Amino acid sequence: MKTLKRALPLLLLLAGAAMAQPADYVSLPGGVLRTALPPDGKQAPALVSPFFMRTRPVSNAEFLVFVTAHPKWRRDAVPVLFADNGYLTQWAAPDAVGKGAGDQPVTQVSWFAAEAFCEAENARLPTWHEWEFVAAADATRPDARSDPAWRARILSWYSRPGTSALPKIGQTGKNVYGVYDMHGLVWEWVEDYAGLMVSVDNRVQGDPDVQKFCGAGALSVSDRENYAVLMRIAMLSSLKGADTTRNLGFRCARDGVKKQEKTP
């Protein structure tokens, strides 16, 4: 009996590992992006360098393996500075996700925790422009944003109430790059979420002229018809790094290999 008790933590870790699928990253070519948030507020496209992105959001099972290996990120151990009171509260216990939830995307996770997970995987959170680059694609086109029917389908998901149980990962289909669930499953953290509609200069974050930052940021959005993008920008920019919500998850990215110029 004592031997079994000592082995229980290892058995839990192995069970979590069995549920979690190996991380699968796909290579993205990058390129010129007609972005909803032009760089530096200028009405110019963004240049996205080649990068890699997880084909699927991080699951509860995968995050369980992470917190088991890094117990400081358990919900009963994480400092309040890095996660609010909602952190992983949907799990059955600090070391158990609950029956049937392993294949669902992990949510109720803070930006700090998401970034720590990605770092443990030798990765990082994607930037907004990287996420936007991949999210613009549908099953056959790298950029489907000019299609009203495509935009309507995306918007219909964003307008649904988020009170029902989350579906399993991989059921909303993949796009032309082989990336699943960019729309229709959960919202996702990005690395630079805090700079989307406010000044990225910390010296002016306390400026009482809120309109100067939030309002001006909204006016700089070039794709006025893509309300789903506006909703995502507004939601992400309203958050703090320790915040969690029941419909906010994440996936990781890695820098791509840039083509080297040929030397004479």
CATH number at residue 210: 3.90.1580.10
**Which pLDDT score, from 0 to 100, does residue 51 have?**
98
**Which pLDDT score, from 0 to 100, does residue 42 have?**
63
Within the chain, which residues score under 50 in pLDDT? 1-21, 198-220, 222, 259-264
* Amino acid identity, position 139: A
**Which pLDDT score, from 0 to 100, does residue 22 have?**
59
The parent domain of residue 70 ranges over 13-254
- Tokens 């990253």 belong to 25
Residues β-bridged to residue 87: none
| Structural domains counted in the chain | 1
- Could you tell me if residue 245 is inside a domain? yes
- Could you tell me if residue 264 is inside a domain? no
**Which pLDDT score, from 0 to 100, does residue 152 have?**
86
**Which pLDDT score, from 0 to 100, does residue 67 have?**
98
- Could you tell me if residue 25 is inside a domain? yes
**Which pLDDT score, from 0 to 100, does residue 173 have?**
85
Burial code (b: 16+ CB inside 10 Å, e: under 16) for 118-127 equals: beebebbbbb
**Which pLDDT score, from 0 to 100, does residue 90 have?**
96
Question: Cα separation of 178 and 142, whole Å?
Answer: 11
- Could you tell me if residue 177 is inside a domain? yes
Burial (CB count within 10 angstroms: exposed 0-12, middle 13-18, buried 19+), residue 26: middle
- Could you tell me if residue 6 is inside a domain? no
- Could you tell me if residue 136 is inside a domain? yes
Name the pTM for this structure: 0.81
CA distances from 166 to 178, 184, 228, 248 (A): 21, 10, 19, 11
- Could you tell me if residue 68 is inside a domain? yes
- Could you tell me if residue 69 is inside a domain? yes
